[in-house]
Amino acid sequence: MQLFLDGSDIDKIRKYSDFGVIDGVTTNPSIILKSGKNMIEVISELASVVSGSVSAEVSALDSEKMVREGMKLSEIAKNVTVKLPITWDGLRACNTLSKKGISVNMTLCFSSSQALLAAKAGAEYVSPFIGRLDDLNLEGIDLISDIKLIYSHYKFSTKILAASIRTTNHVKQCARLGADVATIPLDVFEKLIKHPLTESGLNQFTADWEKTGQSII
Ligand code: G3P
């Protein structure tokens, strides 16, 4: 499973990208607003730090302007993926942009039928928002399972990019179900490595090693 970071904190993204564990980044208009920076500058910086896909979302609601915005965003860097909302205009723009060889991420996906249409329109990625479904007491993770089953039947090449991830358990569930990508907020990502038994076990090993009086180098 590829791991993307969902955000724009360039310093932390650079740090974890250097570890070799980050495969891409996703942003959206709310993330850009929170950054307080110019979108083009944010995307350009992110695309220079990670070699994988960097999603940049259009602002337009009509397909013609979506295409124009998408083409401008794709010119920022070769690894920019254009994010489009799953609407009829978004699907039409996806079809146009994907035929031009531009990577598209169809976002704000909340149903299997939307994901089916995204695949038919040639999207490279589809972003089911599992956390927002959970917020409505619906089982967001079931959407991942349903899309995976549908895509496997018809061998769609569109990649399932699990989004709106709120917990480390979401990441585990997505990996168990075979999502192609999980895009993870930094606060959740930084919890992935933590386990109290690892911490206590390492403390014990360190204390016992010190008692040996030995050194390796
Ligand atoms: O990439 C989509 C993600 O940023 C949405 O997350 O928590 O706003 O539902 P959230």
Q: What are 50-107's pLDDT values in tens digits?
A: 999 999 999 999 999 999 999 999 999 999 999 999 999 999 999 999 999 999 999 9
Atom number in ligand 1 closest to CA 131: 9
Residue 176 lies in a domain: yes
Residue 90 lies in a domain: yes
Residue 186 lies in a domain: yes
Residue 182 lies in a domain: yes
Could you tell me the sign of the dihedral formed by the alpha carbons of 144, 145, 150, 152, in that order? positive
Residue 40 lies in a domain: yes
- Tell me, in angstroms, the distance from the centre of ligand 1 to residue 187's CA: 13
Place of tokens 């794709």: 74
> Does residue 129 line the site of ligand 1, with CB under 6 A?
yes
- DSSP structure string for 38-50: -HHHHHHHHHHH-
How far apart CA 53 and CA 191 sit, in angstroms, is 23
User: What pLDDT score was predicted for residue 9?
Assistant: 96
Q: Minimal CA–CA distance to 24: which of 46, 57, 44?
A: 46
Residues belonging to the active site:
83
- Tell me, in angstroms, the distance from the centre of ligand 1 to residue 157's CA: 23
- Residue 67 is classified by DSSP as H
User: What pLDDT score was predicted for residue 48?
Assistant: 97
Quick: pLDDT tens for 121-163: 999 999 999 999 999 999 999 999 999 999 999 999 999 999 9
Residue 217 lies in a domain: no
Overall number of domains in the chain:
1
> Does residue 132 line the site of ligand 1, with CB under 6 A?
yes
Residue 30 lies in a domain: yes
Atom number in ligand 1 closest to CA 185: 4
> Does residue 6 line the site of ligand 1, with CB under 6 A?
yes
CATH number at residue 168: 3.20.20.70
Judge contact between 102 and 70, C-beta under 8 A. Answer: yes
H or E, element range at 104 = strand 104-109
pTM of the model: 0.96
Residue span of the structural domain in which 185 resides: 2-212
Quick: pLDDT tens for 188-214: 999 999 999 999 999 999 999 999 999
Residue 208 lies in a domain: yes
Nearest CA to ligand 1 atom 10: 164
**Strand duo 181-184 + 2-6: pairing:** parallel
Quick: pLDDT tens for 167-177: 999 999 999 99
